[in-house]
Amino acid sequence: MRLFHISSMATEGHNVDANLLTIGRDHGHYFSKKTFGKPTYCHHCCDKIWGMLTQGYACEICNFVCHDKCLKTVVSYCSGVALQLIKNPVAHTWSAPALIKRKYCCVCRKRTDESFSVECEVCEYFVHVDCSDLAVSDCKEAATYVPNIENVNMTQYHHMREGNLPKDSKCVVCRKSCFSTECLAGMRCEWCGQTAHALCYRQMGKECEFGVLRKIMLPPNSLTIPRTELPMEQLLNITSHDQPQSLSSPSKIQADDVSSSGDDLKEREDVEILRIFDGNASLRAQVSRTASVPKTATVQQIRDAALRRFHIMDNSENYYVTQIVGDGEEEPLDDPVPLRNVKRPEGRRAQIFLRYRDDPETDTVKIYGGWLRRVPVTFCNLIILKDTVVQDLVTEALDKFGLDGSTWNRYNLIEVSLDRGVAERTCNPQENMLQLVRNLRKDSLRRYHVVRFYVQEKEDPHDHAVFVGNLPVSLAQRQYERILLKLLGAKEKPFTAIGPIYFEYGSLVITFNTPKAATAAVQKLQNAVYEDKKLNVLCLPNVQPQMLPADAEPLLVLVNVKSGGCQGTDLIQSFRKLLNPFQVFDVLKGGPLVGLYVFRNIPKYKILACGGDGTIGWVLQCLDIAKQDAACFSPPCGIVPLGTGNDLARVLRWGGGYTGEENPLDILKDVIEADEVRLDRWAVVFHEEERSQAPNTVQTNTVEAEQTMNNPEDQTSMIIMNNYFGIGIDADVCLKFHNKRDANPEKFQSRLFNKTQYAKIGLQKMFFERTCKDLWKRIELEVDGKAIELPNIEGIVVLNLLSWGSGANPWGTAKEEGVFSKPTHYDGLLEVVGISDVSRLGLIQSKLAAGIRIAQGGSIRITTHEEWPVQVDGEPHIQPPGTITILKSALRAQMLKKAKKSRRGIAASSQVRAVASEGSPSGPLGVPSSLGDPSHGKSTPDALGDSDEEGDAFL
């Protein structure tokens, strides 16, 4: 008959369950009296420890230091047991190793700037590279949707993390500062950001409401992610780094490391240093841990020291030690003073095996129900016998969880290893459990103690959608299917559906029935190359809109990490920590379409585009394409200006450029408080002159010539304009700059350098290359169908915004008199301004002068008879002779305009923002059929960054 025990639910918080492990009053610490040779602070109360000798206590495993008076009230768990207390493990996503300043390692509690360290890009977890194998896999659980559970029945709990608090942290309980520069102390919720003292945090409420960002947060209970073998970096669309490896061996926290007395244990004559292996696998890999014990130590003392070194808090009577002799052979240690006769290889330390006393007939195993979430307990203890197989265990566990055991075939048993991350394996239903457990213990006791068995439903609520980008553009669906089948090496479709297809960008979404099929496809496609281009392949999360609160407006964050000298890299990491990481996307990996597809079923949401003017235009272009099939037709878009020009951001009060000093939390608060305004958009249609032959020339009857004569529409293209259009001198300077940057992109990483280059080009144009001096004689301008006589100018700028070339205003600030009305970005009118020469261009840019006001109207037509440089929103090119028509587009955009500072501080939850007086919600969007497809324009940014960021930024 099998025995069982069901644990009670934890009271420690959502991610920690103290009942998962039997630990004493000291929370897994192994305290001993210490004398500190330098000023030391208590990790519990943060006060200085005073005294001359044996001033306090220190844990020999994790270096936790405290007063004698604080010993009884310690609430911080030792890092030796922390990994085994996590209810639902989630792997961290590590950054590249670096010397991280002013932080503390979450494992050994020492400063991270003392040696190379890594940090999680999703949560506030810092760890030395040498401590990384003891890191606790308790990253934010960002996707917790459970089918058949209503939103009202889902509760979000705090996810508490110890230490590394922000400088201005205040305890939510006692209202006093809980920040410390001297040690790893204090507690912080990874979701809502609430902070508290270690003494106070137990008095906090258990439920988390996401704090000030609640309205724009994508709740974890509304999200599913694929159950795949893919690493978390790929699911989060994060550039993966190698798993942090130790610099020497896994012996990360040596016994001599935790000594504060200054004595070097290796040199003491009464101490023996032992190499300890925890199983056959560690011996084969020659990966051991060292322990320092007295030379007179008994077998029991050696065993207990070995257990501490491997962070095993089990009953010590179940373990024994042996010495390793020869090639993996072992002998028992049974001498009263075993180190007198222990065998030591020449020039090496004695080698010891730590072993478990197996019962040949029976064993006990814990079965967790974590992902079921409908069970009232965390785990159950089951007795397994010689003939117990996985199927039997699942049946018994379901009965103990209060579910129907006869439905065992609807469930899998998942073996989850928490060793250096999270790795999963589905167990075979006929696999022998007793043999499986024994093999795990034989290979590695450490790994056995970080392996768990979870019961999981086979039915997966996730829609296994895979985004594939960087394919050839504008192909037919059958052609895309043939390409995918060829790359997958399949004769029949392994996917169940294809679409939507974004023909203009060569991107599409394919859907699979099972996680296994999706994983196999991703693994093949992520390394695939087609037409010398590597594909962008992403597994996508899935949003369940019915789980969103009624007043929620989740924020879709789109970041161009290459904009503004790569400032976006730090910004995207900050946003992932503040929000749900699955609502933050890097647009260089698949473009804005990836995030727009994920958010397609959300009825109301906002967008925050982080980049230059080119990135903003790219996002709006993709929104025009994706929103036709989306639940939210026109989500408002805010801006974090990372480029150099940032003219649209200036008009909407988001500033002239992100400096890195702004608090990302304040940016998100500004988004919550921002007003919705309308932005007029314009279609710039380029139509080249028909290249007909002269009468006396014999025309060759080629197919190409015939198409040119009979299909004049082929010579027409269109670009959607948001900011401004230029022809002549300003476009010429812009074109020269872009050519220089394309030749040496690595040099153009700073705003100051970029503007200096503009000034240099402008001076060359002023003295040596006046190629546009007769522009006013060589082009024709019509505004609203009326011919306009041009003054003596070298360039024309057509403005939708009163910001141009990094904040300049060519229209000027003088009052409008007579025929002109006060211009805005929502009035349906464009302003036409003339630039007399390069010197006037520089004065306008320096805000010392204005241009020449020429006209104002809703339709502009420019006729040219020769090539001219032109630019649209800072994207320059040479335009052949023909006509350029600028018309009001039906494609409008809703933007977010930052509220004035006087309105800051109003609680975001109480805000009910009406549409601002600047404009009302736009009507149905669509491009007039005569204008063609806007997506075939020329303004798609280069993958390396914004081609328009420095547009007209001439000094």
Per-residue pLDDT of 562-603, as tens digits, reads 876 667 888 999 999 999 999 999 999 889 999 999 999 999
CB distance 136 to 86 below 8 Å: yes
Cα dihedral across residues 398, 402, 404, 406: positive or negative: positive
What pLDDT score was predicted for residue 691? 59
Distance from C-alpha of 313 to C-alpha of 307, rounded to nearest angstrom: 7
Q: Is the pLDDT of residue 521 over 50?
A: yes
In the numeric block, which tokens belong to residue 227? 């159950």
Q: Rounded to the nearest 5°, which phi and psi values hold at 558?
A: -120, 115
The pLDDT tens digits of the residues spanning 27-72 come to: 888 898 988 888 899 998 889 998 888 889 999 888 999 998 888 8
Q: Is the pLDDT of residue 420 over 70?
A: no
Residues in the chain: 955
Instruction: Centre a 10 Å sphere on the Cβ of residue 13 and count the other Cβ atoms it contains.
Output: 20
Instruction: Summarize the confidence of residues 427-449 as an average pLDDT.
Output: 90
The pLDDT tens digits of the residues spanning 711-740 come to: 444 578 899 999 999 999 888 888 887 777
Locus of tokens 């999680």: 120
Distance from C-alpha of 453 to C-alpha of 380, rounded to nearest angstrom: 11
Nearest to 597 by CA among 629, 549, 638, 557: 629
What pLDDT score was predicted for residue 747? 65
Instruction: Summarize the confidence of residues 464-490 as an average pLDDT.
Output: 92
Amino acid found at 899? A
Contacts of 832 by beta carbon, 8 Å cutoff, 6+ apart: 781, 783, 788, 796, 797, 798, 799, 853, 854, 855, 856, 857, 860
Supply the DSSP string of 330-394, one letter for each residue. EEE--SSSGGGT----TTS--EEEEEE---SSEEEEEEE-TTT--SSSSEEEEEEETT-BHHHHH
Q: Is the pLDDT of residue 312 over 60?
A: yes
Q: What is the mean pLDDT of the chain?
A: 81
Distance from C-alpha of 932 to C-alpha of 936, rounded to nearest angstrom: 8
Distance from C-alpha of 251 to C-alpha of 246, rounded to nearest angstrom: 9
Q: Is the pLDDT of residue 801 over 80?
A: yes
What pLDDT score was predicted for residue 909? 37
* Residue 285: band (very low, low, confident or very high) from pLDDT cuts 50, 70, 90: confident
CB distance 611 to 568 below 8 Å: yes
Distance from C-alpha of 482 to C-alpha of 488, rounded to nearest angstrom: 10
Q: At what angle do helices 664-673 and 568-578 cross, to 10 degrees?
A: 70
Instruction: Summarize the confidence of residues 462-490 as an average pLDDT.
Output: 91
* Consecutive H or E run containing 625: helix 613-626
Amino acid found at 399? D
Nearest to 558 by CA among 514, 593, 511: 593
In the numeric block, which tokens belong to residue 772? 């546009």
Distance from C-alpha of 758 to C-alpha of 950, rounded to nearest angstrom: 9
Q: Is the pLDDT of residue 147 over 90?
A: no
Which range (158-162, 261-265, 369-373) has the least confidence? 261-265
Q: Is the pLDDT of residue 246 over 60?
A: no
Instruction: Centre a 10 Å sphere on the Cβ of residue 706 and count the other Cβ atoms it contains.
Output: 12
Instruction: Summarize the confidence of residues 628-641 as an average pLDDT.
Output: 91
Percent of the chain whose predicted confidence (pLDDT) is above 90: 37
Instruction: Summarize the confidence of residues 439-450 as an average pLDDT.
Output: 88
What pLDDT score was predicted for residue 264? 40
The predicted model scores a pTM of 0.84
What pLDDT score was predicted for residue 904? 47
Instruction: Summarize the confidence of residues 404-432 as an average pLDDT.
Output: 85
